[in-house]
Structure 1
């Protein structure tokens, strides 16, 4: 939604800062904002996916690497790093596409936009969760055999709501900031017109 390159870079920097602060688990009270960051980036940085998405992905991997090695653990032997780890690219891509789709189809600050936002978020969250959880379950050596669809569904159920709630919380905060920014810009334009 940003119109200038400077605005896009500023938004990317702010999103990257929030992701780094929450993904590193420096502040245990703050859950990881990564899923919300990718959805919001897709919305605010629509049309910049060629450079912004790879930068955010690289940051996510770098933060994971720093956090894991800081604990004295080899990155490649950590519980969360498996062949499934690389499926975070399409998983986060689903969130980005959901935000981008919303940016293309929203009609300003209206009630219909809220319904579109909820639908886009729910679909992209579910797709992200299916890819990330499924790839970990089916590809990780840390999941004990024998594997089954029943056990996978049980595993999905254990983490499903917390992931969706956390993402919705961060996207909701982003939506509030968006509404405030739109209103402030509108008031500034109105004041500019009355002064001329």
Structure 2
């Protein structure tokens, strides 16, 4: 009698919803159940079913966030005329996107820096009294102009970081700056609506006048970035490994 009581008091094993449904014939075997269909489902029990990973498009390393923050601060100081009304500072835009491509390869980084530049221009024109002469439909040509510099920086990042690579990087920077100038200056000349009859003949003198200034700015600020990076690597060699992550 005591044995019967002990048997009756034994708890029946708890069945999961998937097992119960399977025994009643309303669901397939638990091994075939879809992830999330049962609260007791565990990917550990079913490793053959892949799980969805979060997109890496918005996952930046601490190093990349630091580089982006520095470039954003430089753009805020130079593009917003916070300092240029006190002292003439060559434009840092082209070099900033080149450096961004070298250190931050994700496209969202490019979008973020371009959006910041656009916001600065809008605020400067609408609230700070900056001339809107250059703000025309051709402003959209800045997208390919800056994208060229960013892509050139990405390509330069594939080169080994040694002194022998500097000439090749310099040539790449000059070519990218020229292509970027064609997009920005050419877009403004032909699509901006400020010139009644734009022609190739009329555009060539503008290249001779404005491209040397753009090239000087690009080489100057990119050289500053190279020097700072070399000093940082000398002081903290571990930064090279952190950048390669």
Interval of TM-score (by shorter of Structure 1 and Structure 2): 0.7 to 0.9
Answer yes or no: is 1:38 the counterpart of 2:97: yes
Post-superposition CA distance 1:19-60 (Å, at most 9, x none): 1111112212222211110001001112x2x21000001001
Answer yes or no: is 1:167 the counterpart of 2:226: no
Normalising by structure 1, we get a TM-score of 0.85
Equivalent runs, 1:1-196 vs 2, <5 Å: 5-28=61-84, 29-46=88-105, 48=106, 50-72=107-129, 78-104=132-158, 106-111=159-164, 113-143=165-195, 145-186=196-237
Normalising by structure 2, we get a TM-score of 0.69
Aligned-pair Cα RMSD in Å: 1.9
Q: Which has the higher contact order (CA 8 A, sep 6+)?
A: 1
Post-superposition CA distance 1:86-118 (Å, at most 9, x none): 0101110000011110001x112222x101210
Q: How many residues align?
A: 178
Change (3 A) 1:134 1:108: same
Structure 2: runs of 5 or more not aligned: 1-59, 241-245
Match of 1:192 in 2: none
Structure 1: runs of 5 or more not aligned: 190-196
Runs of 4+ in 1 over 3 A off after TM superposition: none
Q: Secondary structure at the match of 2:97?
A: helix
